[in-house]
Amino acid sequence: MRKGLLSTVAALSLAGSLTACGSDSGGESSGSGAKKPKIGVILPDSKSSARWETADRKYLGEAFKAAGVDYDIQNAQGDKQQFQTIADQMITSGVNVLVIVNLDSGTGKAVLDKAKSQGVATIDYDRLTLGGSAQYYVSFDNTAVGKLQGEGLSKCLTDMKAQKPIVATLNGSPTDNNATLFAQGYNGVLDPKYKAGEYVKGPDQSVPDWDNAQAGTIFEQMLTSQPKIGGVLAANDGLGNAVIAVLRKERRNGQVPVTGQDATVQGLQNILAGDQCMTVYKAVKKEADATARLAISLAKGEKGTTNATVEDPEGKREVPSVLETPVAIYKENVKDVVDDGFVTKEELCTGKYAALCTEAGIE
């Protein structure tokens, strides 16, 4: 009996200390409010544009860190299967919010729908998933991006006093809704000029998956079929650089204005060298900050602040959105991109670009 009492006391005190220990940590987390939210981000690839690894990963990470939330940022490296695997892993690991840059709307939709069915909130980042179910969409005004490209090409053609130039077009990936919006923007500027006989419409092709190497082959073929191309609307800096590389081989770089997008180091260097006419700077920091804010509201079950609604023509729904404003960059204002901290002087002004940077007022 005595032995029994002792063991009961021992058992009680053991249970007591276990309870105390358990409630301690429980008390801690309830004392500091809800559990720390966790946000998963899937980036699309690292080849279609330098931005995803150099800008988006960095600014999203910084925004989540500043907000004190847990996060996991992964890159699907252009592989749709891998994209789905990463999403599954993130959902299993207990993310509260999943942020995706889709590789195409079909696979994007599958991932969004799955997350939704598991109670995970979702955000379309940069690219809208057509027919998808994301609660929010954060991007730039992408038609405005295209408009700046069309106006930029036209400004450079005017500066060069080009006479009835033949304009070639390299569109982005046909599976990227942004590529459609960019094209609406630049065709809105260029089509009236073709109609008026000011410019001649040359070859126009989409580049699958924004593949820079394929863009080079496509442009070589365009030049073969139409050797007098006098201006190129290229939808981003990677495609523009592929075009410039072909023009260099023909010793025609600098004589044919080429556009771009993303203000990549390479694109800005091509502009400083006079080989690229312009790029479009999208302050990814703003896009990332807005995404972090919305993700945190979603994790807390609160409504986020948006500044636009975007119509998903396939899902026939209005998606609450945050859209940031793009800026056109020419040689004269490459400096602004450095001042904004998007690229550093050290990475931009290397080797032969040092003197060009000085000329462009980059100190």
Complex with ligand BGC: residue 23 or 184, whichever CB lies closer: 184
Complex with ligand BGC: residue 261 or 269, whichever CB lies closer: 261
Closest approach of Cβ 187 to ligand BGC, in Å?
17
Complex with ligand BGC: residue 48 or 84, whichever CB lies closer: 48
Helix (H, G, I), strand (E, B), or coil: what is residue 209? Answer: helix
Complex with ligand BGC: residue 141 or 357, whichever CB lies closer: 141
Closest approach of Cβ 176 to ligand BGC, in Å?
5
By CB under 6 A, is residue 289 in contact with ligand BGC?
no
State the CB neighbour count (10 A cutoff) for residue 315.
17
Question: Considering only residues 96, 236, 241, 291, which one is a binding residue for ligand BGC as defined by CB under 6 A?
Answer: 236
> How many angstroms separate the CA atoms of 213 and 245, rounded?
11
Complex with ligand BGC: residue 104 or 165, whichever CB lies closer: 104
> How many angstroms separate the CA atoms of 109 and 349, rounded?
42
Task: Name which of residues 97 to 126 contact ligand BGC (CB under 6 A).
Answer: 126
Complex with ligand BGC: residue 98 or 138, whichever CB lies closer: 138
Task: Name which of residues 14 to 33 contact ligand BGC (CB under 6 A).
Answer: none
Name the strands in the sheet holding 229-234, side by side, starting at the edge strand that comes first in the sequence. Answer: 200-206, 166-171, 229-234
Instruction: Kindly give, in sequence order, each residue whose CB lies less than 8 Å from that of residue 179, ignoring residues fewer than 6 positions away.
Output: 171, 172, 173, 206, 210, 235
Question: Considering only residues 59, 71, 125, 210, which one is a binding residue for ligand BGC as defined by CB under 6 A?
Answer: 210
In the structure encoding, which two tokens stand for residue 318, read together?
Answer: 């209005």
Question: Considering only residues 141, 262, 287, 312, which one is a binding residue for ligand BGC as defined by CB under 6 A?
Answer: 262
In the structure encoding, which two tokens stand for residue 34, read together?
Answer: 């809800």
Place of tokens 């260099």: 248
> How many angstroms separate the CA atoms of 74 and 41, rounded?
6
Name residue 310's beta-bridge partners: 319
Question: Considering only residues 109, 127, 147, 193, which one is a binding residue for ligand BGC as defined by CB under 6 A?
Answer: 127
Q: Which stretch binds ligand BGC (CB under 6 A): 149-157, 170-178, 224-232, 353-361?
A: 170-178
Complex with ligand BGC: residue 49 or 297, whichever CB lies closer: 49
Complex with ligand BGC: residue 78 or 254, whichever CB lies closer: 78
Closest approach of Cβ 351 to ligand BGC, in Å?
25
Helix (H, G, I), strand (E, B), or coil: what is residue 124? Answer: strand
Instruction: Kindly give, in sequence order, each residue whose CB lies less than 8 Å from that of residue 143, ignoring residues fewer than 6 positions away.
Output: 181, 182, 184, 185, 188
Contact by Cβ (8 Å): 348, 164 = no
Question: Considering only residues 84, 122, 241, 261, which one is a binding residue for ligand BGC as defined by CB under 6 A?
Answer: 261
Question: Considering only residues 154, 178, 187, 291, which one is a binding residue for ligand BGC as defined by CB under 6 A?
Answer: 178
> Binding string to ligand BGC for residues 32 to 61, with x set by CB under 6 A, is what?
----------------xx-x----------
How many DSSP H helices and E strands does the chain contain? 14, 12
Closest approach of Cβ 189 to ligand BGC, in Å?
19
> How many angstroms separate the CA atoms of 297 and 274, rounded?
45
Complex with ligand BGC: residue 128 or 349, whichever CB lies closer: 128
CA atoms within 13 Å, Cβ hemisphere of 168: 30
In the structure encoding, which two tokens stand for residue 357, read together?
Answer: 């940077």
> How many angstroms separate the CA atoms of 317 and 125, rounded?
17
Closest approach of Cβ 137 to ligand BGC, in Å?
12
Chain residues binding ligand BGC by CB under 6 A are 48-49, 51, 126-127, 172, 176, 178, 210, 236, 261-262
